């Protein structure tokens, strides 16, 4: 069967380090064209992937079977809308949109046109999160009462760029960047949210968008999620601390796949998603605990699921309706932080 021709819009961090190598390693997909105006990046996509560099997204619509939007956040909605109107299935990097309403409109457009729309929530396939899902399914944690999840870094000197210095129109800041992942994971693990409280600050000079944010979620089940995203954490907390009625699971350090992609490793190489044993998390109580093997990270599973979704109408790896739910939480967090209130959903 002929490979699906993929047109990738954007070849910055998301396009170059995540989407392009994952697309290239997925059976049934071929990176056919990449939208970039940078001469060095154009040369790289030709040399590394044999893809055709183009300067404008409009050059893609008649020559590809699938569009991947990995451009700056403010462009996600108009580019996804244009691709859907051209009758093309679309993968959009997170966040899909700035508002739940925009995301809902895109989902409705995809339904009307009969094409797939999905969002690259790759952190669902982090090894640590897959491990938590395994421990919940096995009953080893008991009933989960509290999820603590952190995406913290120590970057006292800003890197610049639209994510840090752009205003609200850029959909920048950590709430919509890393917070998109943490909210999505919390919803997937603990279900619908009934109330949201947030604190959001700009700590570094020259930065406009939030760089230090805390979100507290109350779930319909009674469980609570505490989520931190920060660029100003001199000593990092655990990536996950999951407290259950029978045991807790504590895991330090980020999933290994991003660093390996940035280092140029191919995502289909043996052991690509394996966590070193010394980094495994600990399960149990203070009196009785033991390390547990981290599930292999599996970012490739996202694009492997895209192929049958496009070809056969199978469910997409991430449903747009789930993304609308997460964006509703992020919008409530933004309002909570701005107004100093707890928002009821």
The closest alpha carbon to 46, from 54, 326, 165, belongs to: 54
For position 1, what pLDDT does the model report? 80
**Which one-letter DSSP state was computed for residue 293?**
P
Stated pTM of the model: 0.96
User: 310 and 4 in contact (C-beta within 8 Å)?
Assistant: yes
User: 145 and 244 in contact (C-beta within 8 Å)?
Assistant: yes
Give CA–CA dist 202/164, Å, rounded: 10
For position 193, what pLDDT does the model report? 98
List the structure tokens of 13. Answer: 């961090």
In order of start, what are the domains of the chain with their CATH numbers?
4-121+301-314 (3.40.50.720), 123-298+329-344 (3.30.360.10)
User: 49 and 111 in contact (C-beta within 8 Å)?
Assistant: no
List the structure tokens of 248. Answer: 């807790």
Structure confidence by residue, pLDDT tens digits, 134-168: 999 999 999 999 999 999 999 999 988 898 988 77
Structure confidence by residue, pLDDT tens digits, 218-266: 999 999 999 999 999 999 999 999 999 999 999 999 999 999 999 999 9
Is the pLDDT reported for residue 189 higher than 90? yes
For position 169, what pLDDT does the model report? 84
Q: Residue 33: beta bridge partners?
A: 7, 52
For position 160, what pLDDT does the model report? 87
For position 58, what pLDDT does the model report? 95
The closest alpha carbon to 8, from 91, 76, 94, 121, belongs to: 91
Cα separation of the two ends of the chain: 46
Structure confidence by residue, pLDDT tens digits, 307-317: 999 999 999 99
**Which DSSP string do the residues of 126-161 spell out, in sequence order?**
-HHHHHHHHHHHHTTT-SEEEEEEEEE-B--S---S
């Amino acid at each position: 069967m002929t490979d699906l021709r993929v047109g990738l819009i954007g070849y910055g961090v998301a396009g170059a380090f995540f989407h392009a190598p994952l697309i290239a390693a997925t059976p049934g997909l071929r990176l056919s064209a990449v939208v970039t105006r940078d001469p060095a990046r154009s040369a790289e996509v030709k040399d590394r992937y044999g893809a055709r560099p183009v300067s404008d997204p409009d050059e893609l619509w008649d020559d590809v079977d699938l569009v991947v939007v990995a451009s700056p956040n403010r462009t996600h909605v108009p580019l996804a809308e244009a691709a859907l109107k051209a009758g093309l299935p679309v993968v959009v990097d997170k966040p899909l949109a700035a508002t739940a309403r925009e995301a809902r409109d895109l989902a409705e457009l995809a339904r009307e046109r009969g094409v797939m729309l999905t969002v690259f929530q790759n952190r669902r396939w982090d090894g640590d999160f897959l491990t938590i899902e395994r421990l919940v399914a096995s009953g080893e944690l008991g009933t989960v009462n509290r999820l603590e999840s952190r995406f913290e870094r120590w970057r006292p000197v800003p890197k610049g760029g639209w994510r840090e210095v752009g205003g609200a129109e850029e959909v920048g800041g950590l709430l919509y960047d890393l917070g998109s992942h943490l909210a999505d994971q919390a919803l997937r693990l603990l279900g619908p949210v009934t109330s949201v409280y947030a604190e959001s600050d700009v700590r570094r000079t020259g930065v406009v968008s939030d760089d230090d944010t805390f979100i507290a979620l109350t779930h319909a089940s009674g469980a609570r999620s505490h989520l931190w995203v920060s660029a100003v954490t001199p000593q990092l907390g655990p990536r996950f601390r999951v407290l259950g009625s029978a045991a807790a699971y504590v895991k330090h350090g980020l999933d290994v796949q991003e660093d390996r992609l940035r280092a140029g490793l191919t995502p289909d190489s043996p052991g690509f998603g394996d966590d070193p044993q010394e980094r495994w998390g600990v399960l149990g109580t203070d009196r009785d605990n033991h390390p547990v093997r981290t599930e292999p990270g599996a970012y490739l599973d996202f694009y492997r699921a895209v192929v049958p979704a496009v070809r056969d109408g199978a469910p997409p790896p991430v449903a747009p309706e789930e993304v609308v739910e997460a964006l509703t939480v992020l919008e409530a967090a933004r309002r909570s932080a701005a107004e100093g209130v707890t928002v009821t959903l």
